[in-house]
Structure formats: C-alpha cells, structure tokens
Chains A and B, each alone.
Chain A
C-alpha cells in the first residue's frame, strides 16, 4: 500500500541559523514580537510499504541516509496511509 510521509528537516539546536535570524528580523520589522525563527525544509514523500511498521522503518532510513545530515540536522516526520493512491493530487507540496 501507499504511504505519505511529511518530513521536516531543521538545523540542530545550538547551530547558528542565519536564515532563521534574518526571517525573524523581517517579522519584527512588521511589528510582531518574534523572539526566534528556525528555518528548515519540508518534504512530502509518497512511497510503497507493506504495513505501518515497514513504512516507519523506511522513512527513518531515508532520513538517515539522505534527507538529513545528522552532523547538523534533525529530521522529524508524520506518516499516514495514502487514502487515494494513484491520485497524484494527493502529492501537492
């Protein structure tokens, strides 16, 4: 069956994030009392796996091998079964 994983990759806490700092400055200039922004990437991955356990294992491996570099990044994800497999409209970013 098909699964959808929404993966979020962010810099590890404590690593300077100049992009996030710049965005925070932009929000403050609009008048919002923003104390911090951490920038990151989000990816939606559609893939096949036999069951939830196998899907979870696969996503963890994808993150470890390619989607995040553990030296500087942390990956988190939400996994769900794709209720409408074959419908490419299910994959808009």
Chain B
C-alpha cells in the first residue's frame, strides 16, 4: 500500500483537525496540519478541510475562510485533479468557494444536531468513496447547526443526473425519508462531488468513526478508498520512486 500523505487545513476556529490526524494515524497515513495563512500545502496526495467554525463562521459559514491564503493552493490542487475532502465546516467552505455547488443553510428545526447518522452511498466513485459499493450504508457522527443542503431545482436535477449526489441521509434500512433527514436537506443530500469527482463535501464526520471503542469504524471504511485510488495513479507511484 502507498501510505497517503494528507494535508489537513487548519483555520482559526477549526476543531476536527486532530481527529483527522488521529484517523490518519490509525490508517498508517502521514498527516500534516497546514495553517490557513500558509500558501504551500507541502506536496500532499490529498487535502482535507475539517470541521469546526472557521473564522467564527461570521457572516455565513465558510464565507471568510474561502479568502484565506491557503485556499488558493487548495483550489489549484483540486484543479489539478488532486483529491480534496471537506467535512462539515469544510463542506461549507468548499460551497462558499464555488468548488462545490449549493450552500448549507440553518437546520430546519434550528437545533444543533449531534448524533449518529445512517448514510447511504449513492455514487461510489472517486478517491473518497471508490472503495465502497452503491447502496452501502455508513454509520457516521454528525455535528452541525447549519447542514441543510440547498440548491435550486435545476442544479439538484443536474447533480442527480450526473451521479454527483454521493451520500444521502437514510434510516437504518437505507431508506430516504423525512424522519431520517437530520436537518431538512434537499432530497436528503448529505454529500456531493464536483464535476470531475475529485472533490467531495459531506456534512458527517468520517474521522470521528475511527475506533470501535467509541462507536464504530465506518469512517475508516470510507477513507480507505483513497489508498486504492492513489494506487491507480501512475503519477503518485512515480513520485515515490
């Protein structure tokens, strides 16, 4: 296995970077924390934008973070086809940056929801979900007050037609329903990818499902997809010679 080198971006107010570094350690990966004011990601195999409250989430979630200096490097890395994962606040930042379509609005019930949540894999492709199968269920933590995915109807139709709705909130038997939806997201959407498929944003926290003792390891199941994806990239193998 090629041990992935992952750069985890830290904004002022980010809170999940250490959990990502821990999950990376469990997987045998190398994780490097990159402060938002830096402009060099350090030649990683993948980039993670973790959860938290970047810049206090003032104005809108992710609105200030998208202008942090490091985001120019993240955009260039993604434009080059590099794998980028945005979880929770990281998803919100990617949407504000225009790297993913749509926005995340206040939960429809106004509660901050912190819970275990069933997800269904609807598009098992790309670096972050390619190791899974369509219909696979993942049990991951969610922890957010503003996770209601919104885009106009035409955009939602286009996302579905292009298999870019990666994950949906479901019941334990895999059914999309209002009761399974923790925040009022359009069409039960929990995660979407960009057009090229190398950027994934999702509200749940895969990095917090990395130890059986504290609830499960479905996050590791998901993240391991990256290993297989990288093994199929000639450029990565060459870089290691």
A71 close to chain B: CB less than 8 A: yes
Whole-angstrom CA separation of A16 from B186 in the bound complex: 11
Q: Which A14-32 residues sit within 8 Å CB-CB of chain B?
A: 15-16, 18-19, 22
| Residues A18 and B108 in contact, CB atoms below 8 Å apart | yes
Whole-angstrom CA separation of A18 from B102 in the bound complex: 18
Residue from the list A16, A19, A66 in contact with B63, Cβ < 8 A: A66
Which residues of chain B are near A78, meaning CB under 8 Å? none
Which residues of chain A are near B148, meaning CB under 8 Å? 16
| Residues A69 and B150 in contact, CB atoms below 8 Å apart | no
B103 close to chain A: CB less than 8 A: yes
| Residues A16 and B108 in contact, CB atoms below 8 Å apart | yes
> Quick one: closest B residue to A66, CB to CB?
B63
Residue from the list B59, B108, B109, B150 in contact with A67, Cβ < 8 A: B59
Which residues of chain B are near A52, meaning CB under 8 Å? none
A58 close to chain B: CB less than 8 A: no
> Quick one: closest A residue to B95, CB to CB?
A71
| Residues B103 and A22 in contact, CB atoms below 8 Å apart | no
Q: How many residues of B contact A (CB 8 A)?
A: 19
Which residues of chain A are near B95, meaning CB under 8 Å? 71
| Residues B63 and A69 in contact, CB atoms below 8 Å apart | yes
A34 close to chain B: CB less than 8 A: no
Q: Which B127-157 residues sit within 8 Å CB-CB of chain A?
A: 148, 150-152
B175 close to chain A: CB less than 8 A: no
Which residues of chain A are near B109, meaning CB under 8 Å? 18
Which residues of chain B are near A66, meaning CB under 8 Å? 59, 63, 67
| Residues B108 and A71 in contact, CB atoms below 8 Å apart | no
Mostly, the A contact residues are mixed
* Distance from A11 Cβ to chain B, minimum over Cβ atoms (Å): 8
Which residues of chain B are near A19, meaning CB under 8 Å? 106, 110
What 10 pairs between A and B have smallest CB-CB spacing? A71-B103, A72-B103, A18-B110, A18-B108, A18-B106, A69-B103, A72-B150, A69-B60, A16-B108, A22-B110
A-B CB contact pairs (8 Å), 26 listed: A15-B105, A15-B150, A16-B105, A16-B108, A16-B148, A16-B184, A18-B106, A18-B109, A19-B106, A19-B110, A22-B110, A41-B59, A66-B59, A66-B63, A66-B67, A67-B59, A69-B60, A69-B63, A69-B96, A69-B103, A71-B102, A71-B103, A71-B150, A71-B151, A71-B152, A72-B105
